[in-house]
């Protein structure tokens, strides 16, 4: 498999990456082949695009990919050290947006950015809902197991007489609930951040008008 290839094209301008830009291509190490970036970069490049679920798994676990072992879980004390090609992917020359020739009065860059933010918000909202459902399922399973334990204790059994398998199941479900709860919290935070970014982008034109001392037109 090939090694990672650093993207050198700015996502906003289409030109070379710049340290003054905050887009992910300029601020992070992103592979042009697999799409991994920073925390989701494997040691060796798998040679194909990594989907969003696998990237999240890479960020949360010790999952790794190497040419020697393929996909595997690395040891706890091992940290991934992505291997990049020495030669970088050359940036594509800036292209003229054909929409600007038809409607030059529109700021198409702003429109595209807002559309991307709306799409990102929708995806994060879906992830949050799914994470909440998983968390609720684990919570319900834990409650059922704890009710079974309480039922055995209510029958006059001592805590030491409670089934070992039942106690092991409760511990496993408790761990699953804690993990799913943490993931739901992360998904909720990402969803809120995406919502704030979209609102800020939608309010930016009004902020620019206010800074220029002009009157913001009211809706009819």
Q: Is domain 101-210 classified as CATH 2.60.120?
A: no
Whether the per-residue pLDDT at 206 is higher than 60: the answer is no
Angle CA 12–46–19, to nearest 5: 25
What is the average pLDDT across 113-120? Answer: 88
For the CA atoms of the chain, what is the radius of gyration?
25
Per-residue pLDDT tens digits for 131-174: 999 999 999 999 999 998 888 888 777 777 778 888 888 999 99
CA distances from 18 to 11, 14, 92 (A): 10, 11, 14
| H-state helical runs in the chain | 24-27, 52-60, 98-102, 108-154, 164-211
Query: Which pLDDT does position 88 carry in this prediction?
Result: 56
C-alpha to C-alpha distance for 133 and 183, rounded to whole angstroms: 11
Could you state, in order of their start, the residue ranges of all structural domains in the chain? 24-95, 101-210
Q: Across all residues in the chain, what is the average pLDDT? A: 81
Per-residue pLDDT tens digits for 170-179: 999 999 999 9
Q: Which two tokens stand for residue 17?
A: 């990456």
Is the pTM of the predicted complex or chain greater than 0.75? no
């Amino acid at each position: 498999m090939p090694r990672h290839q650093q993207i050198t094209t700015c996502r906003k301008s289409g030109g070379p990456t710049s340290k003054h830009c905050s887009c992910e291509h300029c601020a992070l190490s992103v592979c042009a082949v697999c799409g991994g970036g920073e925390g989701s970069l494997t040691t060796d490049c798998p040679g194909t695009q990594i989907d969003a679920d696998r990237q999240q798994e890479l960020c949360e676990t010790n999952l790794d990919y190497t040419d020697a072992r393929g996909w595997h879980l690395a040891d706890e004390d091992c940290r991934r050290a992505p291997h990049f090609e020495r030669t970088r992917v050359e940036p594509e020359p800036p292209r003229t947006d054909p929409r600007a020739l038809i409607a030059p009065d529109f700021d198409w860059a702003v429109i595209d950015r807002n559309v991307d933010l709306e799409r990102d918000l929708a995806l994060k909202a879906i992830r949050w809902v799914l994470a909440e459902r998983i968390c609720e399922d684990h919570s319900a399973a834990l409650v059922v197991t704890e009710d079974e334990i309480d039922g055995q204790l209510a029958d006059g059994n001592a805590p030491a007489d409670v089934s070992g398998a039942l106690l092991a199941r409760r511990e496993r479900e408790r761990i699953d609930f804690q993990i799913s709860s943490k993931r739901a919290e992360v998904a909720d935070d990402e969803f809120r951040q995406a919502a704030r970014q979209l609102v800020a982008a939608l309010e930016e034109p009004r902020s620019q008008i206010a800074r220029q001392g002009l009157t913001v037109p009211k809706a009819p």
